[in-house]
Amino acid sequence: MNYAIIRTGGKQFRVESGATVRVPSIDKQAGEAIELETLLVGGDETKVGESVASVKVAATVVEHGRGDKIIVFKKKRRKQYKRKQGHRQDYTTLKIESIG
């Protein structure tokens, strides 16, 4: 099994064994092990649906952080309306230990 598609935080990610991936924030401490929901497993043969239920993706939480700031700017012309707001998304970095 070369790669897997996982779902966490409402998003899907393609991961491989040994890879590091940033996902939306997970409520676990750094160093803790977690198992992720598997949607698809690819490689020599592709498995989807019921055949993937037995495949587990094990990962370890590496660190937590915050992304770069983005600016949310709203304006309505000729109405003297302007709003400027910043946003930084929280994330968790995971190290994928094994697939299968």
Percentage of residues in the chain with pLDDT exceeding 70?
Answer: 99
Name the domain count of the chain: 1
pLDDT at 1 > cutoff 70:
no
Model confidence pLDDT, tens digit, residues 29-60: 999 999 998 999 988 888 888 888 888 999 99
pLDDT at 27 > cutoff 90:
yes
Domain residues for 66? 3-99
- β strands within 17-80, DSSP E: 20-24, 33-42, 47-48, 57-66, 70-76
